[in-house]
Chains A and B, each alone.
Chain A
Amino acid sequence: MSSSTDSPTLTTETTQLSPQPDTETAKPTKKITLKSSDNQIFEVEESVAMEFATVKSFFEDSPSTDTVPLPNVTAKPLSQVIEFCKEQIKFKANPDEAQKKKYNAEFVTEKSDKDLVDMIPVANYLEIKDLLDVLNQAVADRIENKSVEYVRSFFGIDNDFTAEEEAALRREHAWAYEGVDED
């Protein structure tokens, strides 16, 4: 029995005999350790870690590792990204588009401008497409109908135009300057 090779239907529920890494049905209690660039340790459930395409392929390449180093990711945005993915897992189990939309909206609303911008490279590096879409839209929403000065301070952009260039741009884009919000 132990030498059976091609009869997967005969194997029981026990997972210790099956070392293949691609089992989506692996025990939900399995933990995976992520290490941020500032050496913080995060223990997350395997199902959450598998939401990160980068971590997933890391495990497919080297299934025996127990700690995944994330050299491009600091602790704070990582913890927020984990929080987001934990919720998405629940929505995967119980699809509820309205609730998901509500959660996604609340998730970004309560974040500071800096937190939002800091999370984008993390979501990009970990390849979490849903989160990236949510963040891109949220950043766009925050500068919607804002003045140029507001956009500059929002992103920390230096005005590198000469006075003549800026005056020309204002003339050229005057139609877009009408009716912007107060800063």
Chain B
Amino acid sequence: MEISQVEALEYKDRRAEGLGNLQVLPDELICSILDNLTPRDVARSACASSVMYILCNEEPLWMSLCLNRVNGPLKYKGSWKKTALDLENVPEEYQERCGKPLQFNGFSSLFLYKRLYRCHTTLSGFNFDDGNVERKGDLSLEEFSQEYDGRKPVLLVGLADTWPARNTWAIDQLSLKLWRFSF
């Protein structure tokens, strides 16, 4: 009990001193500046302050660093940061401990939280197709505006039936074409 009180008192907002002149920018802008750095620069920037450490250890940042650099097939190593270090030919010993060992309180970011949430939320809660909504294929514009628009919900079906991907992205087709790659 006492310990948690002491901890609560020690919470301070790190954002201002941890970001310096960058504090006037919203988090998403700071992140887009970091996107333009090289992996080595990001790694050093992480050592500038606690807030920079947090921002420079974000997986979406390392993902875009990887994708901006990669030229050909990419081997994912379990995390994007690790993948980026591997691309940079960083010695194995550093790749092994490239996690995010330090934790800091006193910094919160709605932008980072929303991005994280989007990556990890499931879409099942948004599924409204429980059989009650009418399904309709080949709906004409007139019919839609007369019968449904603003009146009752309708699910348009069959729109993707003719997509080539329905056949070519099946497992047997893919393994025929891309047999050289392991998934």
A and B: real partners? yes
Interface residues of chain A, those whose CB is within 8 Å of chain B, are: 114, 117, 120-121, 124, 132, 136-137, 139-141, 143-148, 151-152, 155-161, 165-166, 168-170, 172-177, 180
Residue of A nearest to B32 (CB): A136
B94:A136 contact, CB within 8 angstroms = no
Contacts of A158 in B (CB 8 A): 17-18, 20, 49
If A117-B22, A121-B25, A160-B14 touch, does A139 touch B33 (CB 8 Å cutoff)?
A: yes
Within 8 Å by CB of B49, from A140, A159, A168, A170, lies A159
Q: Is B157 an interface residue (CB 8 A)?
A: no
> Which listed segment binds A: B40-48, B113-121, B125-133, B174-182?
B40-48
Contacts of A120 in B (CB 8 A): 25, 29, 33
User: Cα distance A175–B38 when bound, in Å?
Assistant: 13
Contacts of B18 in A (CB 8 A): 157-158, 160
A176:B36 contact, CB within 8 angstroms = no
Residue of B nearest to A139 (CB): B33
Nearest CB of B to A156, in Å: 3
B48:A176 contact, CB within 8 angstroms = no
Residue of B nearest to A145 (CB): B41
Contacts of B53 in A (CB 8 A): 169
Chain B, range 157-174, C-beta contacts under 8 Å to A: none
A175:B90 contact, CB within 8 angstroms = yes
User: Cα distance A125–B35 when bound, in Å?
Assistant: 20
Residue of B nearest to A161 (CB): B50
User: Cα distance A56–B118 when bound, in Å?
Assistant: 32
A176:B49 contact, CB within 8 angstroms = no
A143:B20 contact, CB within 8 angstroms = no
Q: Is B52 an interface residue (CB 8 A)?
A: yes
Nearest CB of A to B10, in Å: 13
Interface of A, secondary structure class, is helix
A to B contact number (C-beta, < 8 Å): 111
A157:B46 contact, CB within 8 angstroms = no
Q: B49-73 vs A: 1/0 string, CB under 8 Å?
A: 1101100000000000000000000
Q: Is B24 an interface residue (CB 8 A)?
A: yes
Q: Is B74 an interface residue (CB 8 A)?
A: no
Q: Is B102 an interface residue (CB 8 A)?
A: yes
Within 8 Å by CB of A176, from B26, B40, B50, lies B40
A140:B21 contact, CB within 8 angstroms = no
B32:A168 contact, CB within 8 angstroms = no
Q: Is B156 an interface residue (CB 8 A)?
A: no
Contacts of B35 in A (CB 8 A): 136
Residue of A nearest to B52 (CB): A157
B50:A140 contact, CB within 8 angstroms = no
Within 8 Å by CB of A160, from B38, B43, B49, lies B49
If A121-B24, A151-B48, A157-B52 touch, does A140 touch B37 (CB 8 Å cutoff)?
A: yes
If A136-B32, A137-B36, A158-B17 touch, does A151 touch B44 (CB 8 Å cutoff)?
A: yes
| 20 A-B contacts (beta carbon < 8 Å) | A120-B29, A121-B29, A136-B29, A139-B36, A140-B33, A143-B41, A144-B37, A145-B41, A152-B48, A155-B22, A155-B48, A157-B18, A157-B22, A157-B48, A160-B18, A168-B102, A169-B47, A173-B94, A175-B43, A175-B85
